[in-house]
Each structure stands twice: as C-alpha cells, then as structure tokens.
C-alpha cells in the first residue's frame, strides 16, 4: 500500500511538472513573439493579435494564475509574518487539516509543499524555495520559510496582481 502511494506521488508529480512546464513553455512562446505578429493558427487564436501592453498584462496575469488559493494564503502568511516563517499548526489551519490524523496531516503537508516547491522552481529557477527549519526554542517544532534567493518583492507582485 505504501509503495503504491509512493508510486502514485511520483507519477502525480511528474504529470503536474509536465503540465506546468508545457503550460509555461507555451505562454513564454506567445509572449516572446514580435509585436503585431500572429500566433500560429489554432481555432482559438486565429484573430488574436499581440501588442506590447497586452503582452505585459498577459505575462503578469499568467504568473498570478499559476498559484491556487491555498498557495496564495500560505505564501501571503509567510510574507506578512514578521519572521517570514509559518509553523506546522498554522499550515494545518490554512489547509484545514486539523480534523485529520497526524500522519495524514504530515502526508498532505508534504505533498502541498512538494507541489509548491515545483511551481516556484519553474517560475524562479530556485530549488527548495520553501525550506523546513527547526524552531529556535524547541527543535521538535518545525517552521517553513522562503529561501533567501527568492525575491520577495517579485513574489508579492505575482501574488497580488
């Protein structure tokens, strides 16, 4: 059962990475086109023209739409926290995991953070953007923080556009 769950997680991660990667690649292709030129003909884009204003708007909108509601709440909580950290209890509240068993909470937190790290890697090129650190007072308590390599202003702009 555990091996099947592990294989399922690996396959799910690969499929999600492929979908996000192809989605970002196709968006960067359309954003890199010369102003006023046509996107290759498809049923949905035959009359679609790109101009510079629309190009920057689409690029900002695409980055904003790649995060789901829970990810936006989690990243906002990290940014607004004075120490730029979120503890396990807060993450459980945000994800509404309090009613689940401790092991199930841990598994779901792990999957959530794994997917968020993958998205942040695809957007910013930084591996392990969300870092798990020990609490200063109690080593058993774990906190989550953003890597120092992440530009907080750029992330804020992507979250609040």
Domain boundaries, the chain: 2-33+50-160
Sign of CA dihedral 95, 10, 75, 26: negative
More confident of the two residues 55 and 134: 134
By C-alpha distance, which of 68, 47, 48 is closest to 58?
Answer: 48
Q: Which pLDDT does position 107 carry in this prediction?
A: 94
pLDDT, tens digit, for every residue of 17-29?
777 777 665 554 4
Residue 129 pLDDT exceeds 50: yes
Percent of the chain with pLDDT over 70: 72
Which carries the bigger pLDDT value, residue 63 or residue 160? 160
Could you please report the per-residue DSSP string of 50-98?
A: --HHHHHHHHHHHHHHTS-HHHHHHHHHHHHSTTSEEEHHHHHHHHT-T
The whole-number pLDDT of residue 26 equals 55
CB of 130 within 8 A of CB of 120? yes
pLDDT-derived band of residue 151, with 50, 70 and 90 as boundaries? Answer: confident
pLDDT at 36: 42
Separation CA 59–CA 48 (nearest Å): 16
- What percent of the chain is modeled with pLDDT above 90? 19
- Beta bridge pairs of residue 87: 143
* Overall pTM > 0.85: no
Residue range 32-91, pLDDT digits in tens? 444 444 434 443 333 334 344 434 444 444 544 678 889 989 998 988 887 788 989 999
């Amino acid at each position: 059962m555990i091996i099947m769950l592990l294989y399922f997680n690996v396959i799910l991660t690969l499929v999600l990475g492929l979908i996000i990667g192809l989605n970002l690649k196709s968006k960067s292709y359309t954003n890199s086109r010369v102003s006023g030129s046509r996107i290759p003909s498809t049923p949905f884009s035959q009359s679609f023209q790109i101009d510079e204003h629309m190009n920057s708007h689409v690029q900002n909108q695409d980055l904003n739409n790649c995060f789901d509601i829970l990810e936006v709440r989690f990243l906002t909580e990290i940014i607004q926290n004075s120490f730029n950290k979120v503890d396990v209890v807060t993450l459980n509240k945000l994800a509404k995991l309090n009613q689940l068993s401790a092991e199930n909470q841990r598994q779901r937190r792990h999957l959530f953070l794994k997917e968020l790290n993958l998205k942040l890697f695809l957007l910013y090129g930084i591996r392990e953007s969300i870092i798990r650190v020990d609490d200063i007072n109690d080593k058993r308590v774990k906190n989550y923080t953003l890597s120092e390599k992440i530009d907080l202003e750029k992330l804020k702009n992507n979250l609040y556009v």
